[in-house]
């Protein structure tokens, strides 16, 4: 090998052929690694600049026909409009939404998977079934739906009032079949209500369903005597049900003839404990903010635009779907506040 200084030969060294080849190989390997890393970086930047470049999946952790499913399908064409890519809805119901929540978190946080869910199921997954995720793993973008549990029966049911149902349950807990979703706020409200009347839920005929849609259909069709489900989902068919109790402080303008649980508690002398109903909306991976900020910003922008699109608002209202816009900061705050209430009440139920 020639050693040069100021273009003058200082030394000539004879290299061992093996050493020379080894050095060449090391150089080639190093060059390949550098080239590969550079290519990956280039692709990453290109993907961020070209985002989105393929279809986007919306995960709904409930069966078809429920409120979350209806909200996601109504919004899908408008998300497609503002993102410029097809939107596919994937229903992953089961285990009180835990299967769907787990599936969502297992997907890359690259902006190609969105979650449409009832966020109150997240703390219930954590508190009831020991789900491995945390509240902070989910970044809530908007919760247009702030629902409340309603105890309802079919309009032609033999039950005419809340009092009749509770009297039957007190006489014989197995005399009334009750439809509800497992690991839900509705199930917690049922448990709290039964506790108020010293009725053990283990003795009651509880029938569980994979989503709000199937549970409501069971009430409408008389498959169960009564059901506890998010009230908003009943709005399109409210003429076909008889509301018996609304789990809120006051009556709802949507169901003016249905007494609130506070009202009933005062009337029948029981403690009206209950938890907030379903808060439904759009959720992203919390890690997107720092790992993929461009994709995160693009999704937030698209969800905002789609939610405020006049045509979407018109279609949603025609389907009795909520259209309020609270935004990421307020929605995340509402989610965390409601989650703390749910976890506290869960501890209360366990203590009893």
- pLDDT per residue as tens digits for the range 257-294: 999 999 999 999 998 888 877 899 999 999 999 999 99
Confidence of residue 11 (pLDDT cuts 50, 70, 90): very low
Question: Which domains does the chain show, CATH number per domain?
Answer: 56-147+278-351 (3.40.190.150), 149-268 (3.40.190.10)
- pLDDT, one tens digit per residue, over 144-166 is 998 899 999 999 999 999 999 99
Specify the pLDDT at position 198.
94
Element (H, E) at 19: helix 17-50
**Cα–Cα dist 187/201, whole Å:** 10
88 Cα distance to chain centroid: 16
Specify the pLDDT at position 269.
94
- CA distances, 256 to each of 48, 190, 220, 319 (Å): 50, 22, 20, 20
Contact 302, 79 (CB under 8 A): yes
**Cα–Cα dist 49/46, whole Å:** 5
**Cα–Cα dist 71/306, whole Å:** 12
Task: Read off the DSSP letter of residue 204.
Answer: S
**Cα–Cα dist 242/152, whole Å:** 6
Q: In the block, which residue shows the tokens 């009297």?
A: 167
**Cα–Cα dist 165/225, whole Å:** 9
Specify the pLDDT at position 159.
97
Specify the pLDDT at position 3.
46
Specify the pLDDT at position 26.
52
| Helical segments of 84-206, H only | 98-106, 121-129, 162-171, 185-196
- pLDDT, one tens digit per residue, over 306-322 is 999 999 999 999 999 99
Please state which of the ranges 138-142, 291-295, 321-325, 346-350 shows the lowest mean pLDDT: 346-350
Specify the pLDDT at position 49.
74
Task: Read off the DSSP letter of residue 173.
Answer: G
Crossing angle (nearest 10°) for helices 17-50 and 293-308: 20
Contact 150, 232 (CB under 8 A): no
Mean pLDDT of 326-350: 87
Confidence of residue 35 (pLDDT cuts 50, 70, 90): low
Question: What is the percent of the chain with per-residue pLDDT over 70, rounded to a whole number?
Answer: 85
Q: Is the pLDDT of residue 83 over 70?
A: yes
**Cα–Cα dist 115/60, whole Å:** 6
pTM score, two decimals? Answer: 0.75
How long a stretch of residues is the chain?
352
Task: Read off the DSSP letter of residue 209.
Answer: -
Specify the pLDDT at position 8.
46
Q: Is the pLDDT of residue 6 over 60?
A: no
Contact 141, 135 (CB under 8 A): no
Beta strands 149-154 and 8-12, pairing class: unpaired
SS3 state of residue 13: coil
- pLDDT, one tens digit per residue, over 38-48 is 444 444 444 56
**Cα–Cα dist 61/90, whole Å:** 8
Q: Is the pLDDT of residue 15 over 50?
A: no
**127: which residues sit within 8 A by CB, 6+ positions away?**
342, 343, 346
């Amino acid at each position: 090998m020639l050693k040069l200084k100021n273009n003058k030969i200082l030394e000539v060294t004879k290299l061992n052929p093996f050493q020379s080849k080894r050095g060449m190989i090391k150089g080639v390997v190093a060059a390949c690694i550098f080239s590969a890393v550079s290519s990956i970086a280039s692709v990453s930047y290109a993907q961020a600049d070209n985002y989105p470049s393929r279809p986007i999946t919306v995960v709904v952790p409930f069966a078809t026909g429920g409120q979350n499913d209806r909200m996601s399908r109504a919004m899908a064409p408008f998300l497609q409009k503002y993102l410029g890519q097809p939107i596919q809805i994937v229903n992953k119901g089961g285990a009180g939404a835990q299967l769907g929540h787990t599936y969502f978190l297992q997907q890359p946080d690259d902006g190609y998977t969105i979650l449409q869910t009832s966020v109150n199921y997240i703390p219930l997954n954590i508190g009831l079934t020991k789900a491995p995720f945390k509240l902070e793993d989910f970044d809530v973008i908007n919760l247009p739906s702030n629902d409340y549990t309603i105890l309802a029966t079919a309009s032609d049911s033999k039950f005419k009032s809340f009092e009749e149902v509770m009297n039957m349950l007190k006489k014989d807990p197995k005399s009334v079949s009750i439809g509800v979703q497992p690991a839900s706020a509705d199930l917690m409200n049922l448990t709290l209500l039964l506790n108020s009347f010293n009725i053990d839920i283990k003795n009651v005929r509880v029938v569980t369903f994979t989503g709000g849609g199937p549970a409501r259909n069971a009430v409408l069709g008389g498959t169960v005597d009564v059901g506890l489900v998010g009230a908003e989902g009943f709005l399109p068919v409210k003429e076909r049900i008889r509301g018996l109790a609304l789990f809120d402080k006051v009556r709802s303008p949507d169901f003016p003839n249905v007494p609130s649980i506070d009202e009933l508690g005062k009337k029948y002398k029981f403690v009206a404990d209950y938890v907030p109903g379903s808060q439904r909306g759009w959720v992203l991976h919390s890690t997107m903010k720092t790992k993929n900020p461009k994709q995160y910003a693009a999704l937030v922008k698209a969800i905002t635009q789609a939610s405020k699109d006049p045509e979407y608002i018109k279609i949603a209202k025609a389907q009795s779907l909520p259209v309020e816009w609270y935004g990421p900061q307020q929605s995340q705050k509402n989610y965390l506040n409601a989650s703390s209430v749910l976890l506290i009440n869960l501890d209360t139920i366990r203590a009893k």
